[in-house]
Structure 1
Amino acid sequence: MSIKATRTGIVLRPDPTRVLFRPFELGSTTRTLKIIARVGSMTDEEAEQKLDEVIREFGGRHYKLERFLLQRFEQIKTQLLTDEPLTEDRKLLLGAYFTMEYSLESAALFNPSMIWHPDQTNVPPGYKRFILSLRATGEGHVSSISFRMGYIDDTGKIVLRKPSRYVTSPDMVPNHVFNRAIFERKLYELRLENSIQEKMMAGLGDAFSLSELEAQIKRVSAQFRYNAEYETIASGLLALAKSNYEVHFDDDQSLDERCIFPNSPNETNGIEDARFVQFTDDDGQITYYATYTAYNGRVTFPQLLETKDFTHFSVSTLNGAEVSNKGMALFPRKVNGKYAMISRQDGENIYLMYSDDLYFWQTKDILLKPTYNWEYVQLGNCGSPIETEAGWLVLSHGVGPMRKYAIGAFLLDLNDPCKVIGRTVEPILSPDENEREGYVPNVVYSCGALINNDELIIPYAMADHASSFATVNVKELLAELTGQTKSENVPNEVTA
């Protein structure tokens, strides 16, 4: 018998009307100066009329637009030729000329990950709220993290809440503090430790901010102006600092109004495929982590997002000899006293990783190799392992002929996850005729599922364009996985 998922018929499509404001970067100081001069040539009456027009046309489309326009003015005011004070209207208008709207999901809304909402107050009996994170892709194929909310009722029906029209990226937390010991360990992993780096770090304390690091690098610059390595080391230190940052949203913003947009040098071309998991520490504290792929247009970087409340987020680089490729997914708790991760470093096989430190991963052991014809090209995970009484349930994706992606599952021993109890011989979900057309044809893909009562709820992407949900009876799936034997050609363990 081969278990198949049941489709719900829900389709979540990209909505081009959901726009946020972004800096409009011209990339030319000369053009910036010309625009400032042209705005400066306007009379007060002309400037007031133009600003009124901007606020009327765009104010209803955004959350706190005027605050952002003033922030943009502060970012470009260094280009002003005099210190003559400007009225607030002039500042707002200049900010508007260097601001643009960005439709964050105009191209696609896909690769969803699903977790239970941390706030279950005032929920009717038998209902549960959830959060759905999605990869939103817009102009320039830049990806960000978008959110939706919904609930599952007492009959198991999935209901998505209509999102707010507003959507806003977070504010950077000023003077984010770095732990020197961790920072230097990351420098070592990046091979950026030498005498120049030691001089740059010498004036910093056990904790320091980005501005302090920038000031210290500037102070020692004269000593190394003729050293060919100076620029490489300096840019490496700053890139590392800017890739470990914090952001926060206003408390009064609804979760579906929040968008995590690329911020660091590693993320210039997108934040991809966040795999969220509710992690319970040994002391019972809960943190929500998401492993994701940062992309700068050339190289992918596995990174980690963490939050307690979905208002304040910390972003960290993942480091270590075995941090590479895509598709790392964290277990929802420590296993035998260590952090554990499912990964795919070689683009083909699934590995198991352990670490004493959440941010450093040095070893891996092969767990699964492509075994069935629908997964001969490559394997990968579809989100974090889910703990059941029978074992760790992991959704996987396999790639077969014509680069067709399908979703399967495997089961790992609870106490020793390197032991594979069973795996599906056939996919539980493959693209049908209604799902195979899109940006990338013939793909179904998920970044994280949930179990609700006796149902496994799988949010999944269709052809890298839109998203939907499917369900599987958990007892039937686990029965198939635990009922498989070696005689059915299902390996209990895979060795390199």
Structure 2
Amino acid sequence: MTQNNISVRRLPIRLKPDPRRTIARFFWPGKDRGQKIIRRVENLDALRISEMANQVLKQFTPGNPGLTEILIKHYEKAIRQAEMSFNNDFETKLLTGAYFSMEYAFESAAMFNPSMVPAIKQPEVDKGCLQFVMSLRVVGEGHISSITFRRGTVNPEGDIQIKPCGLEVRQLKRKENRTFEKSNFIGKLSEMGVWNQQTQLIMDELPASFSTLQLQHKIERCKRIENSAVVDERTLELMLWAAHSEYEIERQYATEVENLVLFPLSETESQGMEDMRLVRFENDGGSTRYFGTYTAYNGTSILPQILEMAPGEYSKVHTLHGKCARNKGMALFPQKIDGRYAAIGRVDGENMFLLKSTDISFWDEATQIVQPKYDWEFVQIGNCGSPLLTDAGWLLLTHGVGAMRKYCIGAILLDREDPSKVIGQLREPLLSPNEEERSGYVPNVVYSCGALIHADNLVIPYGISDAATGFATVNLGQLLAELT
């Protein structure tokens, strides 16, 4: 059940999870056991401590760059949580840190739901080729999702080459004590429904720009000074939660992007970062940056987040707020429309909406533009990544869910000047799971978080039943002819 007049070519490339790629995570068995472990290590003689620390570094450093720094940080965290005194011996710290560390195969189970964008910097490649950057959702033990990246090139014929990744993986790290703009933070508290006399009192004492530590200090001061019967602990917890859900990422100078992983860095995403939709965004002044919208999951609830990356400058994660930013799968347009940010989202979990906002972090305006129409999308319809600009209009890949929860990829064309107007829509799926693609962790699924256009090809990376990633190319001219 696919379009007969459109040429779709599946490429032989498959990206599959590699359990050899690991990161070193903090391991905590609890305060009581933690104290016992620390004492046991400290009771070893100095020679044995030195031998064991060196063995750990020799065995585990090759797959964990920066392991010494990681073990020291894990030691310090364990000592704080165990409420014990610090040891001054470096090798004791290293070895103790190793007992509170574990290797985690972050992509051992699955690699799927990719998005693909042209690289901002195009190095010298073969004539007619385009370099791209990809994000992929990967899953490890405990079904924790994180985001990894790949680079590659596509030639004018639509053939793809993926740059190999290594086994030495660095986990992106959050900057401590980030700075907030007071007006934005107040807006966030209001949207969360926790703007009251107590939060106003705390915010009134903070400067126009304040740090996480300053906020924590004011909250602790409020707890000490205010009558305990007056203090609302839940409100204070939510203030800290709001601060910790957003963060800045430390710059990585030497590590190539395919050897980086964005693993959950806040409590709001502690159980997963899902389905990033990358977009190469062109600002009004001509500068370019990446945005990546994704779903944060803490084990009980979801939160829409956005990663903002200005190559060579900074990377930040913000929470998306507003009554229209409450579901999965928002995808930004690659430029402003009539001076405003625009996105495609599924506000109600079933239909597709056009969202608009003057502030990329707050979304309160939405217009329904597409609802389930054909039998292969009767359950729900959503986007498969950011709209792509063509001479005919905005090309938007969609996903539809049909009988037996089968996911297929379709396409619609939106008006270039007014994207709330639908010019055309495919009656049949553009891509459906074939027999080879039907089996996986979640069967009967093909799903993409973003494609790109090069020459006369639409290049679609797609997840295969929540297990692996494949690629397909579509003749762009034929597709647009069906939509106009």
Task: For CA contacts below 8 A with separation 6 or more, give which structure has more relative contact order.
Answer: 2
Name which of 434, 440, 447 aligns with 1:438: 440
Aligned to 1:300: 302
Looking at structure 2, the residues matched to 4 and 304 of structure 1 have their Cα atoms a distance apart, in angstroms, of 34
1:157 to 1:97, Cα distance in 2 relative to 1, 3 A: same
**How far apart are residue 29 of structure 1 and its match?**
1.1
Distance in 2 separating the partners of 1:226 and 1:62: 47
CA 407–50 in structure 1, closer or farther in 2 if over 3 Å, else same:
same
Deviation at 1:300, TM superposition (A): 1.1
Match of 2:349 in 1: 347
Structure 2 residue 18 is the aligned partner of structure 1 residue 15: yes
Tell me, yes or no, if the aligned pair for 2:135 and 2:150 is still in contact at 8 Å.
Answer: yes
Cα 1:103–1:222 change in 2 (3 A) is same
Counterpart selection for 2:456 from 454, 457, 462: 454
CA contact (8 A) 2:7 2:478 kept: no
Counterparts of 2:101 and 2:112, CA distance in 1: 27
AA at the equivalent of 2:181? N
Q: Deviations over 1:84-107 (max 9, x none)?
A: x52211111111111111101111
CA distance in 1, matches of 2:406, 2:230: 48
Match in the other structure for 1:262: 264
State the SS of the aligned residue for 2:152.
strand
Q: Deviations over 1:346-394 (max 9, x none)?
A: 1110001111111111111100010001111110100000000100000
**Which residue matches 1:197?**
199
Q: 1:89 aligns with which of 88, 91, 96?
A: 91
- 1:3 partnered with 2:29: no
Structure 2 Cα separation of the partners of residues 117 and 305 of structure 1: 16
Within the candidate set 39, 42, 45, 1:40 is matched to 42
Tell whether the 8 Å contact from 2:7 to 2:475 is kept in structure 1 after alignment.
no
Shift of 1:69: 1.1
Which has the higher mean CA deviation after the structures are superposed, 13-22 or 215-224?
Answer: 215-224
Residue in 1 that maps onto 2:280: 278
Structure 1 contact 250–311 (Cα < 8 Å) conserved: no
SS, match of residue 12 in structure 2: strand
Equivalent residue number for residue 233 of structure 1:
235
Pick aligned residue for 1:326 from 328, 343, 347? 328
Aligned length: 480
Q: Is the 8 A contact 2:137 2:274 kept in 1?
A: yes
Instruction: Confirm or deny: 8 A CA contact 2:384 2:399 kept in the other structure.
Output: yes
2:436 aligned counterpart, secondary structure: coil
Kept after mapping to 2: 8 A contact 1:125/1:154: no
TM-score under structure 1 normalisation?
0.94
SS, match of residue 330 in structure 2: strand
Query: Aligned partner of 2:407: which letter?
Result: Y
Contact 1:4 1:427 in 2 (8 A): no
Pair 16,262 (structure 1): closer, same or farther in 2 beyond 3 Å:
same
Distance, in Å, in 2 between the alignment partners of 1:171 and 1:438 is: 32
Q: Paired residue for 1:338?
A: 340
Q: Aligned match of 2:482 in 465, 472, 480? A: 480
8 A contact 1:135–1:146 mirrored in 2: yes
Q: What's the Cα RMSD here?
A: 1.4
Of 35-44 and 221-230, more deviation after overlay is shown by: 221-230
Q: Is the 8 A contact 2:223 2:231 kept in 1?
A: no
Question: What is the SS of the residue equivalent to 1:434?
Answer: helix
Question: Is the CA contact 1:4–1:429 (under 8 Å) kept in the aligned structure 2?
Answer: no
Q: Distance in 2 between matches of 1:7 and 1:284?
A: 35
Give the match for residue 31 of structure 2: 29
**Matches of 2:112 and 2:212 in 1, distance apart?**
34
User: How much does 1:229 deviate?
Assistant: 5.8
1:467 maps to: 469
Deviation beyond 6 Å, 4+ runs, structure 1:
none
Measure how far apart 1:227 and its partner are.
3.3
1:374-453 superposed matches below 5 A: 374-453=376-455
Shift of 1:435: 0.4
Whole-angstrom CA distance in 1 between matches of 2:314 and 2:236:
29
Q: How many angstroms apart in 1 are the aligned matches of 2:84 and 2:346?
A: 53
Counterpart of 1:395, as a letter, is L
Task: Tell me how far 1:73 sits from its aligned partner.
Answer: 2.0
TM-score (norm 2): 0.97
Deviation digits for residues 74-93 of structure 1 (CA, Å, limit 9, x no counterpart): 2233346445x522111111
SS at match of 1:171: coil
Amino acid at match of 1:10: I
1:383 aligned counterpart, secondary structure:
coil
Counterpart residue type for residue 362 of structure 1? D
What amino acid does structure 2 have at the position aligned with 1:25? W
Say which of 160, 174, 177 aligns to 1:158.
160
1:28-177 mapped onto 2 (5 Å cutoff)? 28-78=30-80, 79=82, 81-82=84-85, 85-177=87-179
CA distance in 2, matches of 1:106, 1:63: 19
What is the rounded CA distance, in whole Å, between the counterparts of 1:351 and 1:4 in structure 2? 29
Secondary structure of the equivalent of 1:332? Answer: coil
Q: Is the 8 A contact 2:387 2:397 kept in 1?
A: yes
* Cα shift readout 1:302-352 (whole Å, capped 9, x = no counterpart): 111100117842000111121111111000000111111100011110001
Classify 1:327/1:80 alpha carbon distance in 2 versus 1 (closer, same or farther; 3 Å).
closer
1:436–1:442 CA contact under 8 A, matched in 2? yes
2: CA distance, partners of 1:355 / 1:262? 27
1:186 Cα deviation after fit: 0.7
1:183 deviates by: 0.3
In structure 1, how many angstroms separate the alpha carbons of the residues matched to 2:365 and 2:313?
Answer: 33
Deviations 1:404-427 (A, max 9, x none): 000000000000111100000000
Which residue identity lines up with residue 179 of structure 2 in the other structure? Answer: V
Whole-angstrom CA distance in 2 between matches of 1:153 and 1:331: 25
Report deviation, 1:234.
Answer: 0.5
Query: Contact (CA 8 Å) 1:251, 1:311: kept in 2 or not?
Result: no
Give structure 1 stretches of 5+ with no counterpart: 483-496
